[in-house]
Structure 1
Amino acid sequence: MVDHTEPTTTHAEWGAGDPTLIVISDERRMRHPLTEDELTIGSGAGCGLRLPDIDPLHATVVHDERDEYVLTLHGEGTMNANPLAAGTHPDDRSETLRTGAQFTAGPWTVVFTREEFADHGRPFAGREGGELSDQPPQPSRPDYAEGESPD
């Protein structure tokens, strides 16, 4: 049983939670695990995830110092995150990926997944809104650069 009297944390080991991109078109479906700190997506020969019918460099996903995965769209496409939401980036072409975030690139839809225990959103699937008085904030994020481990 979870003790709700003490703040909990969703902080996990660096890169934990099997972060993955699910890539879908009308004809294909595939999974691409995010194992690198920077993934380039496009039709170009040097891209880590090569997809036909999109720009040579269409998007970049960067594993940042906060243990978050940040998408930047370089080509045409849509994103479903609110750029003004907490945890996203102010650039309207970038967003912090959370489980279920999706973006498009030509005929492709790409969905980000990461197991809930490692997705650094609110614990217990919390949301911004009226529960803040009932849900204490979680402990500070570990300093991954210093090798700090979550408790």
Structure 2
Amino acid sequence: MSERMQGYAPTTTHAEWGAGDPRLLISRDDQDRTVVHLTRDTVTIGSDGGCTVCLEGAAPLHATVVHDDRDEYVLTMHGPGLMNAYCPVDQHGARTETLRTGARFTVGEWMLVFSRAEFADHGRPYGGRQGGEGGHQSRQPERPDYPATGAIPTRLG
């Protein structure tokens, strides 16, 4: 059996690379809402005009989301903010987390939530649900109304 396991690299999805419309749902004060589709391999978030996503009140380069060679989206927080998981600070003062659907992080007053279709989210076993959970789980509240323009905003706020 160990001979068969050598070189075996299990995966949890058979989706195309970058599939599942990976995106960030960005909101502030339940009034400002937008969707940023992650179509680039590196997305920078901050208040600097050169950032992919400019957010008022953020550090000039507050966070980076990188689409890596494992088809994962990895968040690196360069500035202060809450993250979905506890992540120790590295030697450069940054914290890193692999994003899964529903992962939240804050940048100043902004809440950002990562979302990707379930079939392509590597964090879900076997690329999605395996039967019946909906039968014994209570329904979730409706999602807020995010504009789905498809365009990456140049400045929010």
Letter in 2 for 1:15: G
Letter in 1 for 2:122: H
1:10 to partner: Cα distance: 1.5
Partner of 1:76 in structure 2? 80
1:33 to partner: Cα distance: 0.1
The TM-score with structure 1 as length reference comes to: 0.70
Letter in 1 for 2:23: T
Check if 1:32 corresponds to 2:39.
no
The TM-score with structure 2 as length reference comes to: 0.67
Aligned-residue Cα RMSD (Å) equals 2.2
Q: Distance in 2 between matches of 1:8 and 1:73?
A: 27
CA deviation string 1:64-105 (max 9, x = no partner): 000000000000101012549xxxxx9571100000001001
Give the match's secondary structure for 1:66: coil
CA deviation string 1:29-71 (max 9, x = no partner): 0000000000000010100001101101000000000000000
1:125 to partner: Cα distance: 4.4
Gaps of 5+ in 2: 1-9, 131-157
Contact 1:17 1:117 in 2 (8 A): yes
Gaps of 5+ in 1: 1-6, 85-89, 127-151
Partner of 2:18 in structure 1? 15
Q: How does 1:1-151 map to 2 (within 5 A)?
A: 9-26=12-29, 27-83=31-87, 93-121=95-123, 122-123=125-126, 124-125=128-129
Letter in 2 for 1:75: G
Could you say if the C-alpha distance between residues 24 and 9 of structure 1 is closer, same or farther in structure 2, counting changes exceeding 3 Å?
Answer: same
Aligned residues: 115
Contact 1:11 1:120 in 2 (8 A): no
Q: Percent identity?
A: 61
